[in-house]
Amino acid sequence: MQSLFRHRAQQAALLLALALGAAAVPAAAADYPDRPVQLVLSFPPSGATDVLARAVGQRLSTALKQPVVVDNRPGAGGAIGMSFAAKAAPDGYTLYLAAVSNAAIAAATYNSQPASLSRDFVPIAGIGTVPHILVVPASLPVHSVPELVSYLKASPGKYNFASQGAGTLSHLESELFKLRTGVDVVHVPYKGSSFALPDLIAGRSSMMFDSIPAALPHVKSGKLRLLAVASEHRVSSLPDAPTVAESGIRDFRADNLFGLVAPKGTPPQVVKQLAAVMKDVLASPELGAAMEAQGVQIKYTPPEQFGRMIGDEMRSWEKVARAANVRID
């Protein structure tokens, strides 16, 4: 009798422990989020990443019923912001808005990186693409890509190109341009578009691949001249702007992929919840129209497919960096 009582007591204790353990995870998921969410990005205010982060963050905040605080942490080709996000607690309260193409390039060009987009994060959702455009100072006597190539080839090494920073997409696009055209121009890196554009407008740099949200206002004001878009296809908001490939530069494509990721170890149920919320957020016609007006192509991509796209970008830009012999200490 005593043995039977002891056996039943052990069973009861085991069932209670299992019940408490099972209840803990759903309760945590049900409570998420119960405080503000931090959205980290690797670029300064006013650039494409910042414009996208604030537009998406505002709607994400409404959907989650919690503030979403945008945290700009620029520098080191995106490594500062990425490293900060990677080291954050994997609880869903720190998210990283990844400029995937930029991260792939940094991984391929920097000799060491404190964090890896593919190893240290889990994908939540692809957000879309933010194509770059090739712009030159309005004072430069060129009006097309072939004219720019001829102009630069006439004085090898005399001119330079600006970029958002060493190891960024803005940098490697120009390196790819050099590979495909044979022009000899010198790289001058900045800490983001907001720092590079004044020198480009003043003519201290001769060309730059930059985001549409950052550069287009200066094109419209007549301070910069738009020559081409860097993406594979034309941008609907700039129907008259040819692609670089259409301008005669073969095998040139630089689609700028963006998406949301979380530190590795973030609970799967939180990732699933965020992916579902992002799908709803990105389905907003108002968001799509507002972003399209600035050259941002909104498109939701589920976690697994987005993860594969990250891998594809890593391999693609590794090839370009190797061919251009770009390595950064």
Nearest to 57 by CA among 70, 43, 75: 70
What's the whole-model pTM score?
Answer: 0.78
Contacts of residue 97, defined as CB under 8 A and 6 or more positions apart, other chains included, come to 39, 40, 41, 49, 52, 53, 56, 127, 258, 259, 260
Report all structural domains of the chain as residue ranges with CATH numbers, in order of start.
35-130+256-324 (3.40.190.150), 132-229 (3.40.190.10)
pLDDT in tens, 179-196: 999 999 999 999 888 899
DSSP-derived letter for residue 203 is T
Report how far apart, in Å, the C-alpha atoms of 173 and of each of 29, 93, 200 are: 42, 34, 16
Helices 268-282 & 285-292 angle (0-180, nearest 10): 70
pLDDT in tens, 8-60: 545 544 444 444 444 444 444 568 999 999 999 998 887 778 889 999 999 99
Average pLDDT over every residue of 152-174? 93
Kindly tell me the burial class for residue 251, based on how many C-beta atoms sit within 10 Å of its own C-beta (0-12, 13-18, 19 or more).
exposed
Residue owning tokens 């550069």: 215
Pairing type for strands 160-163 and 207-211 reads parallel
